[in-house]
Amino acid sequence: MDTVQAVLLIGGIVLAFLMLTIYARTGKPFRSLLGTAIPGVLSLAVINYASFFTGVGITVSAATLFTSVFLGIPGVISIFVLKLLWGL
């Protein structure tokens, strides 16, 4: 594993713990998680469907699903921007 991947992995783990803490503090953690996960996964599916027209899609993997579930739409947009800028 190279340095960039290690830094991104550590950042993702920190963000996941942060989001879990935020979900727990709302008093309704499962509702908050579902309120983030459902739009995140749907936006991932829409981007993959639109890749037929745009030519830019996101590969569905454990990392992208993890990001779309825990970070929601902002996470999917971040993956999309990284894909456009650096081809990750």
Q: Calculate the alpha carbon distances from 8 to 41, 43, 62 in Å.
A: 20, 22, 14
Radius of gyration (Cα) for the chain, nearest Å?
14
For residue 88, pLDDT over 80 is answered with: no
Q: What is the pLDDT of residue 39?
A: 92
Question: Whole-model pTM?
Answer: 0.74
pLDDT in tens, 49-86: 988 888 888 888 888 888 888 888 888 988 888 888 87
- Distance (Å, rounded) from C-alpha 53 to C-alpha 22? 37
Judge contact between 34 and 66, C-beta under 8 A: no
Q: What is the pLDDT of residue 67?
A: 86
Domain count of the chain? 1
